[in-house]
Amino acid sequence: MSSSWPKNQGLLLDQYVAFVFTKTLYKCKNNVKNYTDTSLPLDILEENTKKKLLIIVLNNLEKFIVELKSENISKIYLTKNRNFLLLQFFHNSLHEFCRYFHLHGNIHVRNNSINKLLCKEAPFLLEIVCIYLIFGDSANINNIFHDTPRRLSYTKVTAFIENLTIKISNAIMLAMIKFSSTNLLTKKYINLDLIQSIREYEKFKNFIILKDYMYYIFFRPRDIYNGYYQLWIIKECGLDYLNIHVYRIEEFKELEGFSLLVTLWMELQDLFLPQLKFLLLGVGKAITYVFNRLINKFIIYITKSIRRNHTA
């Protein structure tokens, strides 16, 4: 099998798609512990439940791709309807997860809440995965990634699928934490290595909600402005992430309110911090020079005084 992703539709692309889903499914069935220093909503689940959630999302993604291919949709359709497609994919995965584990608590998640849960880049991530899996390599999509060569690698497509699977799984758990009337603590699916009491559960829950809010308000605008993206993948050691650089101009255009103020603050930092550093460096040198001169004069004065006293 070539390391490059197929460029066009056909039997070869279908074989690659089948293989990448099989490989990702194998990874989801093995080690999915989070060994990074970044806490995820998924961390609240014990190992087997976490694996099952990832598998449910991955299987739903595969079904989703098959349905879209059978409908002969176009790239334009994907782009125009990516928000609707994401909502459909998210709800299908969420409700299947709840049915499988008999989580009968009511979950009322508004569409605008889902947009915040998925941080608004998820529709674009879903579009990228769908285009690569349905139509093959895409030069237009490749252009947004700084380090992507002319031919996309099989490894990078696998990383996009793993990232989307982890992102949607995290969003599902965040929805369960924020909007579900089901108390997860009463179920047998909690990670007991992390949570052993009601206090620890509430502490983790509040931390995750606050972190999501902080990311949406502060850190996401920063990452967009810097052209930075955190791509989550599944390694042999468990969940990990890669730092990649992406052109996020379209997302930058959608920023508003306080998020724009964050980017403005960063721009002011870029403008004034170098000048401030230069000014402080100059002032520091001047103070050092004056201080050295005073010390030298003081030493000379003391030396002369000692000599006079000795002569006298």
DSSP string covering 160-189, please?
Answer: HHHHHHHHHHHHHHHHHHHHBSS-GGGSS-
pLDDT at 167: 92
Q: Strand pairing partners for 241?
A: 232
Considering the chain, what is the average pLDDT of its residues? Answer: 81
**pTM, full prediction:** 0.81
When pLDDT is averaged across residues 224-243 and rounded to a whole number, the result is 87
pLDDT at 126: 85
pLDDT at 143: 57
- For the chain, give the percent of residues with pLDDT over 90: 20
- Most confidently predicted of 29-33, 75-79, 241-245, 300-304: 29-33
pLDDT tens-digit series, residues 101-151 = 777 655 666 555 666 666 666 777 888 888 889 988 765 665 566 555 556
Is the predicted pLDDT of residue 61 greater than 60, yes or no?
yes
CA nearest neighbour of 33 among 161, 166, 164: 166
When pLDDT is averaged across residues 29-35 and rounded to a whole number, the result is 90
Ramachandran class of 231: left when φ > 0, alpha when ψ lies in -120 to 50, beta otherwise? beta
Is the predicted pLDDT of residue 15 greater than 60, yes or no?
yes
pLDDT at 137: 75
pLDDT tens-digit series, residues 142-197 = 556 655 555 677 888 899 999 999 999 998 888 888 876 666 666 678 888 888 88
Q: Per 3-state DSSP, what percentage of the chain is helix, strand, and coil (rounded to 5)?
A: 70, 10, 25
When pLDDT is averaged across residues 189-210 and rounded to a whole number, the result is 85
pLDDT at 260: 74
